Structures are given as C-alpha cells and as structure tokens.
Structure 1
Amino acid sequence: MTAHPDTTEADTDSRGEDRSDVYPRIGRVVVIIPTYNESENVAQIVERVRASVPAAHVLIADDNSPDGTGDIADGLAEADKRVHVLHRAGKEGLGMAYLAGFAWARQQRFDVVVEMDADGSHAPEQLTRLLDALGDADAVIGSRYVPGGKVVNWPMHRLLLSRGGSLYTRILLGVPVRDNTAGYRAYRLTALDAFDLDSVASAGYCFQIDLTWRAVKAGLRVVEVPITFSERERGASKMGGPIVREALLRVGSWGVRHRARQLSALFGRGK
C-alpha cells in the first residue's frame, strides 16, 4: 500500500485542521469502487488510486463478496486512513452500490464522488484528467469514444454492444454524450442534488445512462475526457444478458415517454 505523505504546515488551514485531502478547485474527493468477488483485484486498484492522487479517499462498497474481498478491504482500511469500507448485505447491483456510496460521501462531507471499476479497466493514472476537467463542469465522463479515447483487448461483440448502447441512447433520448454507458466518471455532490436519486432503480450499467440523462435534463454541464479502457485481466466479468435487457427496456421506455412529451409540447404550442 502506498503511504500518504505526512501532513505539512502547508496542508493545514488557519485552525490547524488537515487540508491535505483537498484537490485544487474541487475540494475533497472520494473514489467509490463497488466490489463483488474482486479479491484478485481490489488491493492493486486501491494502491494505484492512492499513488495516482494521494489527496483522494477511497470507498470500497462490497456486496458481501463470498471470496473474501470484504476482508481484504478491511485490511487496506486498517493500513491507510484514507481507505474506507462500506459492507453491504448482499449483491444488489452496481446502481444500488453507488447510491449507497453517494449517501456515505454526503454524510462524510465530501465534495466530489468518482465512480471506478475494481477490475483495472479504468486506469487510476488517468484520474487527474477527470478531476481537472471537473473544475469547469458538474459532471465528467471518462469517454472511450471521443478523440483520444480507446478500448484495449475487448472482444468485438462487447465493443459493438457498448457502441450500440450509446448510439441507441443518443437517438432515443437525445443525449449529446458519446459514451453514455461509461463507468468511469466524476460528479460534484452539489450536482447530484439536482437529481431525484430516490427514484433511481437502475441496477446494471443502465444506471450510468440513467444518471447521464438526468444530468442533461437538469441542465448541468457534462463534459467528456478521453480515457483508455482495458479489459480485465483477472476475475470474471459481471456483464450478462439480464443487464443488457434491463438497459434496452428502460431506455426504450424512457425514449417513448420523452418523444411523447416532445410531441405533446409541439402540438400544444400549435393550438
């Protein structure tokens, strides 16, 4: 585990409180990493985050992994005061894990939450790209599909599914984002206040589409920065048929209602 540098006089405020965890222009940052059976990956990804952005905290949201991921996370937290663990009762899906993490971050008075996968597909070394861009935005998406972004070692069917999902979302919902399903992103907590998070029920990667659309509808400034996405090297992917079907059905339903409201408004003005 990479140790955090000792607090210096420059890292304290006028009251002598530790300010070494404040990232320039955006405040206190916590990287939320949901886990389920990620015992082969969790220690390495946490170490890389702490080395890349020493000011950032890490919250491991573990869904009661039977492979001992939660125990490993506890050990990491004992060794580093900026690593925290949220033990959850069971596997409820990515969306519910992030919502629990957002609530925890709010209670702990963080300013920014970052979403990051545990499997290494999101490079912690590129985290500063998202955080720096957040200085002039409400939400930042680490995008595979803007100039400079790329995908490494993904099978063609996964790439087509991902690109197709983003295109499907742009067409149905009119969301001007190239990578709607991206899981590497950062939000100001004040921006999340513009969402009705209590009404979010999306479980899988549809959760990312859901939040993107809510951000756009709320008039928030959403920007994309290029990242390199790499296929996991260890452990099993959580992507499956039910997750894809959930996204297709939910986005389709949202799209129908969205277009119906547009038509209603259009014909209403014409009367």
Structure 2
Amino acid sequence: MGADRLAGYPGVGRVLVVVPTYNEVDNVAPIVVGVRRAAPAVEVLVVDDASPDGTGVAADALAAADRRVHVLHRDGKHGLGAAYLAGFGWARERGFDAVVEMDADGSHDPRELPALLDAARDADVVIGSRWAAGARLVNWPWRRLLLSRCGNGFARLVLGMPVSDATGGYRVYRLSGLGRLDLQSVCSQGYSFQVELCRLAYRAGLRIVEVPITFAQRERGASKMSPLIIGEALWRITVWGLQDRRTAVRRGLHGTATGQVRWP
C-alpha cells in the first residue's frame, strides 16, 4: 500500500465515498470522475444492485482505469439503506477513517465535497443541508420541495432533533462515530434511512454539523422516489417518536440520567 493512499484527506484520514446505484448508467461516470477531480485524496466505492442497464459494467470500467475506484456488486435490488450499510462495512474492513454518502443521480455536487470533509475535522457527522442558511435548490419541482420541507419539519417535531435536513443524503460519517451506533438495528430504506441514522447519531451524542449545499434536480434517469417510500418514512418516524417518548417517560419515572448531547 502506497504512502499516498495512507495519507488520505488532511485532518480526516482515509475517506471512502459510497455511491449506491441502480440503473444509473448515464450518471455513474460523471459522478465518479467528478469526485476524483474534486477530492483526489479520496477513494470511491460504487455499490451496484445488479442494474440491468449496465451500470455495473460501466463502474467496472472506471475501476479498471483508476485504482482509487472500487465496485461492490450485489445480487439484486436490496435498497438504498442496505447498500450504504454494505459500503460502511466494506470501509471498516479496509481501515478507512470516514465514509461519505452521495447520490448517483447528480443532485449532489462533487465540488462541494471538500467543504463537507473540512467540517468533518471537528465533527462525527456532517450533513450537506438543503435547508441550512446559504443552501440553494436548483430546478426542483414545487411538489418535491414541499415534500422535503414538510418531511423534515415532521421529523424535527416528532423526534426532537435540531437538524434542518434529517432526510438529506449527502453526508460524511466518521467510522469512529458509526462504531458507536447499533447499525444492526437499522431496518429502513430510502427516505427514512437517512432519518434513522440521524436519530441514532443524535441519541448517541455524536457531534453533528450541517453545511449548506446546492441541490439540483437530476437531469438524466428516473427518480426512485415513490409513494411507498414516502409512506414508510412517515410511518417509521411516527413509531420512533412514540418509542422515544416512552423511553423519556420511563427515565423520568426511574430517575435515569439522559446524558449530554454535544451540539455546535
């Protein structure tokens, strides 16, 4: 292993950008090339769910041309959450210090990755926020905008987390922080997966910061958002909120300390 590979990103260490894909053959190359150009010190893992459109083959070609690009082929469409968890495990087994979540559809600008990684020097979790001061939305349909606004407001209200974008999927996690979370308990997919990890991180007392980003509507391919994904998110957030309130009541009755949560 070369010294350049060990050096990693200054102040953060070895970083792996995890990009889940399913039928993203037109997007995978621009994303991977964009990441490598924006942050040459990081490595990329494409996690492909047996895409029938040839995304996995395109990813293999990128990996053959760049030793910092890797591909994890899965045997079927198992969902976004499972893809990220597989990527986290792959990173942990190979000694990475931090992982990045990034969508394959082009909505997350790789040029903003250095800003997120810079923030990770003093945080366990960094969220690229669409709703923090200074963020921009580009060509987003008003229905998606309203859905995101209402979904994040609902999560903030029900779960009591002071996070403006709990559903955002452009994130950096320190592996040391992920090691404090019960990832085996994670069972949600899609829209709610991001909320679930945010809730676990908040409850574990991890230091979470938000960095404003520019979020753009995808230009190529079809969105994976569906009424089923939205329904799962609303249902799970409601259940988590009830569980948290039940836990708080029990702690109050038995005088159990809740601990301190660090927040910038």
Instruction: Specify the TM-score bucket, using the shorter chain as the normaliser.
Output: over 0.9
1:226 and 2:212 are equivalent in the alignment:
yes
Over the matched positions of the two proteins, sequence identity in percent amounts to: 59
1:32 and 2:22 are equivalent in the alignment:
no
Q: Secondary structure of 1:225's partner?
A: strand
Q: Distance in 1 between matches of 2:215 and 2:38?
A: 17
Q: Secondary structure of 1:27's partner?
A: coil
1:205-224: CA deviation from partner (whole Å, max 9, x where unpaired): 20100000100100010000
Letter in 1 for 2:198: T
**Which residue in 2 is equivalent to 1:150?**
136
Q: 1:81 aligns with which of 54, 67, 70?
A: 67
Runs (4+) of structure 1 exceeding 6 A deviation are: none
Superposed displacement of residue 108, structure 1: 1.2
Letter in 1 for 2:222: A
Superposed displacement of residue 260, structure 1: 2.0
**Which residue in 2 is equivalent to 1:8?**
none
Q: Distance in 1 between matches of 2:61 and 2:232?
A: 35
Counting only pairs closer than 5 Å after superposition, residues 237-256 of structure 1 correspond to structure 2 as 237-256=223-242
Q: Secondary structure of 1:24's partner?
A: coil
Cα 1:19–1:83 change in 2 (3 A) is: closer
Letter in 1 for 2:115: R
Superposed displacement of residue 266, structure 1: 3.1
Query: Taking structure 2 as the reference length, what is the TM-score of the superposition?
Result: 0.94
| Contact persistence 1:113–1:187 (CA under 8 A) | yes
Query: Taking structure 1 as the reference length, what is the TM-score of the superposition?
Result: 0.91
Q: 2:165 aligns with which of 161, 179, 192?
A: 179
Gaps spanning 5+ residues in structure 2: where?
A: 256-264
Q: Secondary structure of 1:205's partner?
A: helix
**Which residue in 1 is equivalent to 2:201?**
215
**Which residue in 2 is equivalent to 1:6?**
none
Superposed displacement of residue 151, structure 1: 1.2
CA-based RMSD of the aligned residues comes to 1.3
Q: 2:33 aligns with which of 44, 47, 53?
A: 47
Superposed displacement of residue 265, structure 1: 3.0
Counting only pairs closer than 5 Å after superposition, residues 1-271 of structure 1 correspond to structure 2 as 17-19=3-5, 21-269=7-255
Letter in 2 for 1:105: A
Q: Distance in 2 between matches of 1:261 and 1:61?
A: 36
Q: Which has the larger radius of gyration?
A: 1
Gaps spanning 5+ residues in structure 1: where?
A: 1-11
Q: Distance in 1 between matches of 2:106 and 2:80?
A: 16
1:97-136: CA deviation from partner (whole Å, max 9, x where unpaired): 0000000001111101000001110000000111000000
1:141-181: CA deviation from partner (whole Å, max 9, x where unpaired): 00010110121111111111111111111111101100000
Q: Secondary structure of 1:215's partner?
A: helix
Which deviates the most, 255-264 or 139-148? 255-264
Letter in 1 for 2:205: G
Cα 1:129–1:18 change in 2 (3 A) is: closer
**Count of equivalent residues:** 255
